[in-house]
C-alpha cells in the first residue's frame, strides 16, 4: 500500500482551470485547435510529477497517451484509464446560473461545461496518479492514461490510440472509461445509491429508405405512390420489429439490485433476474428505456418527398435510426429491416453502421477490483452492471480487450445527469475527492 495520507489540495481549482479552456470539438472550425493545445499544456503545468515521470505520446492531433511503467512483467496486461477532454457546445440562449466556461467554484461545487462530461472524470484520474507519484508508489502493472479530444464528434483520437496498443501487441487487462456513475434510485422502486457500471454499449445503424413512383398530378393518383410506400415501410418498422432478449448483464443488474431492495419489489427483481425470457417480455412491454435495454430499437427520424401540395412526388425517403442490441450485428439488422418492409420497391441504403460491443464479464478479477475500489471510496454502494445506450470511446478497445467498463466514480443526482449536454452542469467538490480516492484505491490494488 502507498503512504498517501493527504491528497494534494486544489482539485476543484484544477478542474476550474480545465473548464475555462473551451475545448468544444464541434466548434473546431470557428475556434481553431488552440484551446486543445492549451489544454494539453495545462496538464503539464497542473501535474508536474505526471509530466516528469510518465512518458507521453501524441496520437493524431487530439490524442494524448501517458504510460506509467509498472513493476510487473510485460506479460501482465496493463490498465487503461480513459477520458475525453473535449466538450459539447453551449446554446447561448440557455439560462446558465454561472457562465458555462467560467469554471466558477460556488456552493461546494465546480460549475461549467465538462464538469461531469468529461473533465471531472479526467481530473480525478490525474489527481490520483499525481498523489501516488508523490508517495513514490509504483503500480504493479503498466498504467496507460488515454485522453481523446474529439469523443463528442466521433473523432479518431481514441480509435488511433487503441490501434497503436493493438499493433504493439498490448492487450489491456482492464479498460475504464466514462459511462455510468454513482446514482440515486437506479430503477423506479429501488431505493438508495448504486454504482452503475456499463459492461457493453449498443451499436448504431442509420439507414435511408427510398421509393420511386411516377409523378403527375395529385388529382388522379395511382394506388401505390412513393409516399405511400415509404409510409407503409415506416409503419411496418414498429417497436416489435426486433425480438426482445435479456442479456447476461441485465440478469446480473436485476439480481444485484434485488439484494438492495426490500419487500415485494426486491422479490420481483430477484425473480426477473433469474428468468431472462420473462424479463425480456416485461421490459419490452414497459416501453421507453426498459424496452431499449432488451432489444434493438428503431426510430424514423426524418422523412421527405414532394415539392408542391398538388404534385405527386416521384421519390420519397425516410431516415431510420436503430440502436443495435448486444449479441446482434448491423448485417443481421439490415436483413431484418428488409424482411419486415417486404417491398422490393423500397431500397434500403446504409448511411452509418457501428457494431454493438461485446459484453464484459462481471465474474472476473477486473470487475472485483472495481468493486474493491468502490468499497474504499463509496462504502456500501453496490457495483451494478448495466448496458449503455450511448457510444463511448472505449468501444475501440472493446474490439480486442475483453474487460472494458464504462464508469466514472462520481456521484451524480438525476438533475446532474440531466445537465450533461444540457444546462448548469456541475460537480460537487466532495464527489471529486471521492473519485480521486476511487482511482487511488484501484491503482493500489492491481497486484
Ligand atoms: Zn462524454
pLDDT digits (tens, 9 = 90+) for 90-106: 998 999 999 999 999 99
**For 414-427, what is each residue's pLDDT tens digit?**
999 999 999 999 99
Residue-level pLDDT at 187: 78
Give 63 Cα–ligand 1 centroid separation in angstroms: 15
CA neighbor of 225 nearest in space, from 235, 240, 215 = 215
What average pLDDT does the segment 205-222 reach? 91
Give 71 Cα–ligand 1 centroid separation in angstroms: 32
Give 376 Cα–ligand 1 centroid separation in angstroms: 25
Q: CB within 8 A of 157, min separation 6: which ones?
A: 59, 60, 61, 62, 63, 148, 149, 150, 151, 393
Give 181 Cα–ligand 1 centroid separation in angstroms: 12
Is the model's pLDDT at 154 over the cut of 90?
Answer: no
Residue-level pLDDT at 62: 97
**For 281-290, what is each residue's pLDDT tens digit?**
999 999 988 8
Give 230 Cα–ligand 1 centroid separation in angstroms: 35
Residues with CB under 5 A from ligand 1 (ion): 117-118, 178
d(C-alpha 53, C-alpha 231), whole Å: 61
- 111 pLDDT band, cuts 50/70/90, is very high
Give 117 Cα–ligand 1 centroid separation in angstroms: 5
Give 118 Cα–ligand 1 centroid separation in angstroms: 5
Give 292 Cα–ligand 1 centroid separation in angstroms: 20
Give 386 Cα–ligand 1 centroid separation in angstroms: 17
Is the model's pLDDT at 74 over the cut of 80?
Answer: no
pTM assigned to the model: 0.90
CA neighbor of 150 nearest in space, from 64, 56, 21, 44 = 64
**For 159-195, what is each residue's pLDDT tens digit?**
999 999 999 999 999 999 999 999 998 877 788 899 9
Is the model's pLDDT at 4 over the cut of 70?
Answer: no
Is the model's pLDDT at 393 over the cut of 90?
Answer: yes
Is the model's pLDDT at 36 over the cut of 60?
Answer: yes
Residue-level pLDDT at 6: 85
Residue-level pLDDT at 446: 95
Give 391 Cα–ligand 1 centroid separation in angstroms: 9
Q: How far is CA 229 from CA 205, 218, 344, 351, in A?
A: 21, 16, 10, 20
Q: CB within 8 A of 39, min separation 6: which ones?
A: 18, 21, 23, 85, 149
Is the model's pLDDT at 37 over the cut of 70?
Answer: yes
Q: Is 288 helix (H, G, I), strand (E, B) or coil?
A: helix
Amino acid at each position: 500500500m502507498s503512504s498517501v495520507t493527504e491528497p494534494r489540495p486544489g482539485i476543484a481549482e484544477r478542474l476550474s482551470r480545465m473548464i475555462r479552456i473551451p475545448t468544444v470539438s464541434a466548434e473546431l472550425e470557428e475556434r481553431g485547435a488552440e484551446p486543445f493545445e492549451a489544454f494539453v499544456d495545462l496538464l503539464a503545468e497542473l501535474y508536474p510529477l505526471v509530466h516528469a515521470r510518465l512518458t507521453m505520446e501524441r496520437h493524431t492531433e487530439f490524442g494524448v497517451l501517458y504510460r506509467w511503467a509498472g513493476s510487473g512483467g510485460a506479460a501482465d496486461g496493463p490498465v487503461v484509464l480513459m477520458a475525453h477532454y473535449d466538450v459539447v457546445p453551449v446554446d447561448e440562449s440557455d439560462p446558465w446560473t454561472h457562465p458555462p466556461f467560467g469554471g466558477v467554484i460556488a456552493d461546494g461545487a465546480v460549475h461549467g461545461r465538462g464538469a461531469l462530461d468529461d473533465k471531472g472524470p479526467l481530473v480525478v484520474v490525474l489527481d490520483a496518479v499525481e498523489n501516488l507519484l508523490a508517495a513514490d508508489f509504483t503500480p504493479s502493472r503498466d498504467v496507460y492514461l488515454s485522453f481523446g479530444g474529439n469523443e463528442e464528434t466521433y473523432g479518431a483520437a481514441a480509435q488511433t490510440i487503441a490501434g497503436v496498443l493493438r499493433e504493439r501487441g498490448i492487450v489491456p487487462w482492464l479498460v475504464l472509461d466514462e459511462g455510468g456513475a454513482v446514482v440515486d434510485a437506479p430503477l423506479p422502486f429501488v431505493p438508495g445509491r448504486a454504482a452503475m457500471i456499463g459492461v457493453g454499449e449498443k451499436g448504431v445503424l442509420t439507414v435511408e429508405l427510398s421509393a420511386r413512383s411516377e409523378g403527375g398530378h395529385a388529382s388522379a393518383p395511382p394506388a401505390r405512390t412513393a409516399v405511400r410506400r415509404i409510409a407503409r415501410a415506416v409503419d411496418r418498422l414498429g417497436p416489435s420489429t426486433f425480438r426482445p432478449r435479456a442479456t447476461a448483464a441485465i440478469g446480473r443488474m436485476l439480481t444485484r439490485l434485488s439484494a438492495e431492495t426490500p419487500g415485494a419489489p426486491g422479490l420481483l427483481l430477484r425473480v426477473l433476474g433469474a428468468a431472462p425470457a420473462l424479463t425480456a417480455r416485461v421490459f419490452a412491454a414497459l416501453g421507453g428505456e426498459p424496452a431499449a435495454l432488451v432489444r434493438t430499437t428503431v426510430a424514423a427520424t426524418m422523412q421527405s418527398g414532394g415539392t408542391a401540395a398538388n404534385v405527386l412526388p416521384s421519390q420519397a425517403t425516410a431516415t431510420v435510426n436503430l440502436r443495435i442490441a448486444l449479441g446482434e450485428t448491423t448485417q443481421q439488422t439490415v436483413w431484418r429491416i428488409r424482411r419486415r418492409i417486404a417491398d422490393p420497391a423500397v431500397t434500403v441504403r446504409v448511411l452509418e453502421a457501428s457494431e454493438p460491443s461485446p459484453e464484459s464479464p462481471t465474474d472476473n478479477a477486473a470487475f472485483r477490483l472495481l468493486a474493491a475500489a468502490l468499497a474504499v471510496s463509496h462504502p456500501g454502494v453496490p457495483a451494478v452492471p448495466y448496458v449503455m445506450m450511448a457510444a463511448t470511446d472505449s468501444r475501440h478497445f472493446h474490439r480486442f480487450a475483453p474487460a472494458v467498463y464504462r464508469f466514472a466514480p462520481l456521484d451524480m443526482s438525476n438533475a446532474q445527469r440531466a445537465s450533461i449536454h444540457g444546462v448548469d452542469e456541475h460537480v460537487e467538490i466532495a464527489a471529486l475527492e471521492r473519485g480521486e480516492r476511487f482511482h487511488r484505491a484501484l491503482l493500489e490494488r492491481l497486484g
